[in-house]
Structure 1
Amino acid sequence: MTKSFTDKLGKGGYGTVYKGSLPNGHPVAVKMLTESKGNGEEFINEVASISRTSHVNIVRLLGFCLDGSKRALIYDFMPNGSLEKFIFTDRSQIESTLGWNKLFEIVVGVARGLEYLHRGCNTRIVHFDIKPHNILLDQDFCPKISDFGLAKLCTSKECIISLIGARGTIGYIAPEVFSRNFGVVSSKSDVYSYGMMVLEMVGGRKNLDVTTTSSSETYFPHYLYKNINQYCVEACGDNGEATEIVRKMILVALWCIQTMPDDRPSMSRVVNMLEGDISDLQLPPKP
């Protein structure tokens, strides 16, 4: 299937992904999980959660293999790889490859995928690791949420989750996941991660950049909050349509990264905000 694991697509904290093909020639991505992960919680999480899903913006699990300590997950192959490689690059290169309209379509697609996980599938699912690396792009750059190794299934309507320790990736983890003083852990934790990811898509940079020469630009969300109009003009020039798209992405993302979970919109509300009129969007309190 993988030609002796010769075509490596990438490597992460939970294992290595290889390109392969089924007997009928269908291209697949085979994720070999690291053997030293104890009782294999990440494997069980991924199979249990993603097997419950069926949505255009969720990567499709085709099968899995469990042989002793060896564990593998088989997914549809995504020819354009992860979103990460497209956004953390030169701004002009991003615009020539994707353009603001396509970036906005990706933002909306991920929002719909998360809305489905939180409300639409049989068992509500909180992903807990939304970031550019975990958004895969098919041949048409349609986004697919992937890597459910940290996901939690919710049985109650409110989907309040009990966690032992923080989970996720630094830079995208909601405050309440670190400290319950900020509120309960719930699907709103994914909303925060989503907002941080969208701001990185807008800026083509990490939200926390310690290498920048300007202290005011070190934390990008605060810089955007104070300079949203200026940034939209700098990013889009006199392209009115692109300026509106970028402004909408920024405003929605700033609502998503509010410190207190109750102040963040649900993903259903996020989808409505993105698809609605920009005149209906107000600048939120400073996150």
Structure 2
Amino acid sequence: MTCSFKDKLGQGGYGCVYKGKLPDGCPVAVKVLSESKGNGDEFINEVASISRTSHVNIVTLLGFCFKGSKRALVYEFMPNGSLEKFIYEENQLKGHTQLDCERLFKIAVGVAKGLEYLHQGCNTRILHFDIKPHNILLDEDFFTKISDFGLSKIYPGKESIISMLGARGTAGYIAPEFFSRNFGEVSHKSDVYSYGMMILEMIGGRKNFNVKADCTSETYFPYWVYKRLELNEELALKIIRNKGDKEIMRKMTIVGLWCIQTDPSNRPTMGRVVVMLEDSLESLQVPPKPFLSSPPRSPA
């Protein structure tokens, strides 16, 4: 299918992705999981979660291979790869196209609708737990699909609050309640937080964390975004061409900042996010300033 893994599309902590072709000529992406990935929980998780979905903004799983320790997932092929290639300035220096405001907005809405479906539209509700630009795939027309369900969790019933040991996700996108229950319970609102961080990155054109930076309020990415919102300054100057672009960027900024509120109860649901994005800018209230602190320490 992959001509002996000839055409490598990408690599991550899970393993490698290769381009392949089915007998009928249909192009596919084959994700081969590393053999070091424990007892196969991530593989089973992904198959179990994504096989229950059917939505235009969720990538389609076409099949899987499972033989001993060798595991692979066969997905529809997305020609434009992942969103991260098109939003960070460092990648644009490598020759990748910078997306315009309208296209960024459509991608934001597509991801929001996909997450709304996972949280509310499935027969079995799904929490993704790893929303980030790397896991948002784009087809030839830059239509959006959510991928990589290796860390997802299926939950039955109406409530989405779940008990969990340890954090799930990627540094910079993990909601504070994963680290301390003082912030609230882990739930579908944890995906909302990751989505908010991703939206702010799309607007700012930079990653939300810098491992070389000091942990100060000046370098905390949401503070940087909020400061510009307060001063009515633009974040993505290069792609703003007119008043409409300016309104789109401001709307996405406000929605993103609502999504990363520290208290999960203050974050909107993904259904509400879709409404906010599709509503007028005038109808949106500016959220409180984002707040982040370490869990309280016991006195010495």
Equivalent residue number for residue 298 of structure 2: none
In the alignment, residue 227 of structure 2 is paired with which amino acid? K
Note the residue ranges of structure 1 that are not aligned, 5 or more in a row. Answer: none
Q: Is the 8 A contact 1:210 1:218 kept in 2?
A: no
Report the AA paired with residue 13 of structure 1. G
Residues 91 and 254 of structure 1, relative CA distance in 2, 3 Å threshold: farther
Q: CA–CA distance in 2 between the matches of 1:79 and 1:187?
A: 30
RMSD of the TM alignment (CA)? 2.0
What's the counterpart of residue 133 of structure 1?
A: 134
On the 8 A contact 1:232/1:247 being kept in 2, the answer is no
Structure 2 contact 101–240 (Cα < 8 Å) conserved: no
CA spacing shift, 1:51–1:233, aligned 2, 3 Å:
closer
Q: Does residue 184 of the first structure (1) align with residue 185 of the second (2)?
A: yes
- 2:89 aligns to what SS in structure 1? coil
Partner secondary structure for residue 74 of structure 1: strand
Q: What one-letter code is carried by the residue in structure 2 that aligns with 1:209?
A: N
- Per the alignment, residue 75 of structure 2 pairs with 75
Residue by residue over 1:46-102, the C-alpha shift from the partner in whole angstroms, topping out at 9 and shown as x without a partner, is 000000001111000000111111011000000000001111126987996421000
Greater displacement, 110-119 / 35-44: 35-44
Runs of 5+ unmatched residues, structure 2:
291-300
Q: What is the DSSP-based 3-state SS (H/G/I as helix, E as strand, rest coil) of the residue aligned with 2:151?
A: coil
- Distance 1:227-1:29 versus aligned 2 partners, 3 A rule: same
**Structure 2 partner of 1:157:** 158
CA-CA distance at 1:217 after TM superposition: 5.2
Partner AA of 1:14 in structure 2: Y
Which residue of the partner structure matches residue 44 of structure 1? 44
The runs of 4+ residues in structure 1 deviating greater than 3 Å are 90-97, 209-213, 232-238
Asked whether the equivalents of residues 172 and 193 of structure 1 are also in contact (C-alpha less than 8 Å), the reply is yes
Following superposition, the deviation at residue 156 of structure 1 comes to 2.1
1:273 aligns with 2:276: yes
Give % identity: 68
Measured in 1, the distance between the counterparts of 2:126 and 2:166 equals 18
How do 1:12-161 residues align onto structure 2 when only pairs under 5 Å count?
12-89=12-89, 97-161=98-162
Whether the aligned pair in 1 keeps the contact of 2:204 and 2:236 (CA below 8 Å) is no
Which TM-score applies when normalising by structure 2?
A: 0.90
Does the residue aligned with 1:230 lie in a helix, a strand or coil? coil
| Aligned pair partner of 2:254 in 227, 251, 267 | 251
Matched, 1:260 2:285: no
Q: Is the Cα–Cα contact under 8 Å of residues 14 and 33 in structure 2 kept in the other structure?
A: yes
TM-score (norm 1): 0.94
CA shift for structure 1 position 227:
1.7
Shift of 1:150: 0.2
Report how many aligned residue pairs link the two structures.
286
Maintained 8 Å contact 1:9/1:17: yes
